[in-house]
């Protein structure tokens, strides 16, 4: 069984989808503590609120309040079950998803459809 250093090899790593499109980074990890057994990684989390929480819990609250006024994403934190991880390489954590269908791409899609599409000369 391959050894995985969660801090070194997973946390803050680039996350990509099936086609290796960049989606974001592993902003947080959720572990399950079990009686008499080693902890188990349940999911990886992505989102600004997760980063905010790493810095200070109050920052996360403030960010959530801000979100209530301006939000494009359906949820503040995108949680991906560990079972969806295809591969962990030195370059990225590859997920068995398609980027455009995940909340990670909500802002990206919104900008693309509401701003970029209206600007001239997009095709290169």
Q: How far is the CB of 81 from another protein (least distance, A)?
A: 19
Q: Which of 22, 40, 71, 84 binds another protein (CB under 8 A)?
A: 22
> Is 45 an interacting residue with respect to another protein (CB under 8 A)?
no
> Is 58 an interacting residue with respect to another protein (CB under 8 A)?
no
CB atoms within 10 A of CB 113: 10
The burial of 70, by beta-carbon neighbours within 10 Å (0-12 exposed, 13-18 middle, 19 or more buried), is given as exposed
Instruction: With CA atoms as reference, report the closest residue to 17 among 77, 105, 116.
Output: 105
> Is 122 an interacting residue with respect to another protein (CB under 8 A)?
yes
Q: Distance (Å, rounded) from C-alpha 100 to C-alpha 117?
A: 16
| Listed ranges 20-28, 36-44, 67-75, 77-85: which one lies at the site for another protein (CB under 8 A) | 20-28
Side-chain-side CA neighbours of residue 76 (13 Å): 17
Binding site for another protein (CB under 8 A): 7, 11-15, 21-25, 27, 51, 54-55, 91, 107-109, 111-112, 115-117, 119, 121-124
């Amino acid at each position: 069984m391959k050894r995985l250093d969660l801090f070194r090899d997973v946390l803050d790593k680039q996350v990509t989808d099936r086609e290796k499109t960049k989606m974001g980074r592993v902003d947080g990890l959720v572990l399950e503590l079990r009686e008499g057994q080693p902890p188990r990684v349940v999911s990886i989390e992505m989102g600004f609120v997760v980063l905010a929480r790493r810095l200070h819990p109050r920052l996360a609250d403030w960010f959530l309040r801000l979100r209530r006024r301006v939000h494009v994403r359906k949820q503040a934190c995108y949680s991906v079950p560990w079972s969806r991880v295809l591969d962990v390489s030195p370059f990225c954590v590859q997920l068995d998803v398609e980027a455009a269908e995940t909340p990670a791409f909500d802002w990206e899609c919104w900008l693309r459809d509401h701003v970029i599409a209206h600007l001239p000369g997009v095709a290169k």
